[in-house]
Structure 1
């Protein structure tokens, strides 16, 4: 019978064989092994373990991390004409991508078939916030950048300048922002669903 350590070792071997680089396992949660490439300990990759007919299969979401920088640059160029200077981060959801995805999968195939979060941080004029968001949704839908959820957050200029992705959880937990607008992508309709969820930041922020 396999132990937890056996599954973690097997997940590391599977990932190394598939992607040609070394990984370290972190922990197991709800049947998934969490690993990171040795080159980047901040990427918490999900490896699902499936046992069927006596065989063990693995499924992962690593391509979302491999395509992250390229996809972020592409989205940045799409949204900059509307928001001006901004920062864009994408993050895969915690479940596997299509098993056919490999290192050479292009960003458009990934964006069309995968679920991920797009976070855009801006410091532009807060006039017509919802209209700008709708415009962005239309642009992304037309470009087949589907994602799963789009979040636009308004910050002070100096906070945007020094923003780093590894501190995003701290930012949202502390509510150190003006406002955050969220929309969800509806795959059945092939568009963002139109409902905008608004989260107000700390009322003392920016004063």
Structure 2
């Protein structure tokens, strides 16, 4: 269980806390939060995913005070979510390059095992939301990524903590040519992660934007 949860965190949580930024000026790809393999992740798609998490947090909180604490504990959610959306595609490309495939049965088996260890479907959904910022409707998608990562590591003769695994993701990242909107930082293909941009024309609006509605 520890390995599965650690992998979920690895593939689903952002790696560095950072303020939410707004940018003035023109974007290379208007309307895009990121471009991965020539395909846009739009700002609207990113915001929809963030809203899914906030809605799930609100539903789970029970009252405004608990919801405020949940928001405070995930104040960099927009960047975390974009990081995850990009990393998901990078992982999938690396798995394709290695001819790794995941079946629905693979996902069902992993879910059944995790549910058994955590105490049921509700416990799984609660844990994934609280610890990894994954709403209930995205749990199966995340579990598919866990299987994909584990199969890729096995195909490479390593595990997800070892350099060989991350080298495969780095290669896939370079192949895809990940390009982030500057307001969300930049993508480091070598480290396989988002990093903050140091641009003088961005404004920190974290305090204003992260208040619970």
Flag the structure with higher strand content. Answer: 1
Choose between structure 1 and 2 for higher RCO, CA contacts under 8 A separated by at least 6 residues.
2
- Tell me whether the two structures share a fold, i.e. TM-score over 0.5: no
TM-score using structure 1 length = 0.25
**Which is higher, the Rg of structure 1 or of structure 2?**
1
